[in-house]
A and B are shown apart, each in its own frame.
Chain A
Amino acid sequence: MAFGPHLLLAVLEGLVSSAVLALTALGLSLVFGVMRIVNVAHGEFFMLGAVFAWWFSTMVAGDPALGFLLALVLAPLVVGAIALVAERLVLRRLNYDPEATIVATIGMLYIFEQLALMFYGPEARAVPAPFDFRITLPWFGYSAYKLAIIAASILVMLATWFVLTRTRIGLVMRATQYDRETAQAFGIPVDRVYAGVFALGAMLAAIAAVLIVPIQQAHYLMGTDPLLLSFIVVIIGGLGSLRGTVVAAVLIGLSDGIIAVFFSPTLAKMLATLFVALVLVFRPQGLFGTTAR
């Protein structure tokens, strides 16, 4: 294959990982932005999303599109409900203390991982893609489903942006983010907002996982990589900044795709981590973040 088409392929692959990464990182960023909680278990919500996607998709026989659709609707809801329970049982009792919740979410990470191992097992299983149409380009054929992932991710992000900036729920979330105490003085039930935001963050990770599971198999250890990459994205973009998260996800996803295709995946990870170090040294608030109040 000539260089041009090869690059195009790398860019497309990069955009697919960007799309999934942006959704996952958005969830992490939202939880940190509003609740000031560093959720180390975020990758496990991604993993649970994939595992439940497999489970739901096997419940329907026949057309794979039906099973996938069922998974796309139900898996994020189940994961959101699990996050809600975790929030009530653990984070709320710690009074959302920034340090204690880090340790607590590390514990949650292992609990979710081991539960998945016990009930789902060590196998890696794929969910059939809802359609396997291939778009024929002059140089190679490309999976239409992968392009659909990009489109779906853009849609979900637009919806999130709309909710945050154009609705009352979004206004309440932003008010809570900027001043928790004053928000309470204006009738905002801060603990309910927190519960909702935590569930929403987990659901975004679960949606990302459902989208990726037809090309990347569900496995009980699959949460580690998205967690690391989400942290990288969120640090580069600026914690709590929606725009920064999207830009950084595209940046990291693309460079990951291109460098992995032309050089090696390890080099891609090394460069991303180096970039994080540079951002932390020279612009600790992130590319689009504002300095902490």
Chain B
Amino acid sequence: MMTELLKVEGLTASYGSVQVLRDISLELGRSEVLCLLGRNGAGKTTLLKTIMGLVRATSGSVALEGAELTKLPAHEVPRHGVAYVPQGRRLFAELSVAENIEIGLMTRGKGGETRDAVLDLFPVLRERLNQRSGTLSGGEQQMLAMARALAIEPKVLLLDEPTEGLMPSAIARIRETVAAMRERGVSTLLVEQRVDAVLPVADRVAFIENGRSVKTIGVAELREDPAMVRRYVGVG
């Protein structure tokens, strides 16, 4: 029996006159990893940005534990416990590793305990606290982006293509973190292009097409019928 944590219902959003999300609905349960799969331009990134309030919803609702998020100013959304790891990481490149984590901690007023917990997840970062984050390697930057997001002690984690352009070892590290977060009761909404990257971590997969969620299935079901991926995502 699953209780939903985040509920997206009939969400619509557009950039100017271009409608990107058309009446999209999905539910994310507690301690669940839900993966969004879809072609380029299907609206996956826009969905995450709309949940964060960075793109305004034109209609529909996003509810976190029953509290409506679409009416809030963008900076209030993370304070409710939604953490965001944007595509391309978007670190504050001129700031140090420590300062990037500090900004995460400040979001919900977390202190040294959270900082230690986050750094324990990514020990590499502890050695580089004073380094300018723009000079980290790709894998380290992704870990810092995750660390910054986890520093808010989120209930929901939104990850936008976290494994893009990373080496297999770094991909494994990200995957382990997502699994570890699930153990702690954090739910993850994960956007990916490649299905092999999500099968090991996801509980369910939602296919997104033209700004709509066309089908949501369990991972086991997807393993049995891999042809489904080709149908919705193009190349599997």
Contact = CB atoms under 8 A, between A and B. Distances in A.
Interface stretch (B74-82, B174-182, B211-219, B222-230): B74-82
Interface stretch (A51-59, A182-190, A242-250, A263-271): A182-190
A124 B54 CA distance: 50
Interface string A56-80: 0000000000000000000000000
Contacts of B78: 185-187
Contacts of A189: 73, 75
Nearest to A184: B74
Interface residues of B, number: 26
Nearest to A193: B75
A171 B107 CA distance: 13
B102 A171 contact: yes
B92 A174 contact: yes
A174 B75 contact: no
Interface of A: 168, 171-172, 174-175, 178-179, 181-190
Q: Which 3 A-B pairs have the closest CB atoms?
A: A187-B107, A184-B74, A185-B84
Contact of B54 (A172, A174, A185): A185
B54 A181 contact: yes
Contact of A182 (B76, B79, B86, B108): B86
B99 interface: yes
Residue of A174, A175, A190 most packed against chain B (CB within 10 A): A175
Contacts, number: 63
A183 B74 CA distance: 10
B103 A190 contact: no
B189 to A, nearest CB: 14
Contact of A187 (B75, B86, B102): B75
A179 B92 contact: yes
B75 A182 contact: no
B52 A185 contact: yes
B54 A184 contact: yes
Interface string B31-49: 0000000000000000000
Given A184-B52, A185-B54, A187-B75, 14 more contacts: A171-B95, A171-B99, A171-B102, A171-B106, A172-B103, A172-B106, A174-B99, A175-B92, A175-B99, A185-B52, A185-B74, A187-B79, A187-B106, A187-B107
B191 to A, nearest CB: 15
B104 interface: yes
Given A171-B103, A185-B52, A185-B54, A178 B75 contact: no
B103 A185 contact: no
Nearest to B76: A187
Contacts of A171: 95, 99, 102-103, 106
A39 B52 CA distance: 31
30 contacts: A168-B102, A171-B106, A172-B103, A172-B106, A174-B92, A174-B94, A174-B99, A175-B99, A178-B93, A178-B94, A178-B95, A179-B90, A182-B86, A182-B90, A182-B92, A183-B92, A183-B103, A184-B52, A185-B77, A186-B78, A186-B104, A186-B107, A186-B148, A187-B78, A187-B79, A187-B106, A187-B152, A188-B75, A188-B103, A189-B75
A168 B99 CA distance: 10
A188 B102 CA distance: 12
A183 B104 CA distance: 10
B103 A175 contact: yes
B99 A184 contact: no
Contacts of B95: 171, 174-175, 178
A185 B78 CA distance: 6
A168 B104 CA distance: 12
Nearest to A187: B107
Contacts of B77: 185
Nearest to A168: B106
Interface in B52-104: 52-54, 73-79, 84, 86, 90, 92-95, 99, 102-104
Contacts of A172: 103, 106
A77 B148 CA distance: 36
A187 B76 CA distance: 6
Nearest to A182: B90
B85 to A, nearest CB: 9
A257 B90 CA distance: 45
Nearest to A176: B92
A172 B92 CA distance: 11
A146 B107 CA distance: 45
A185 B100 CA distance: 13
A71 B38 CA distance: 63
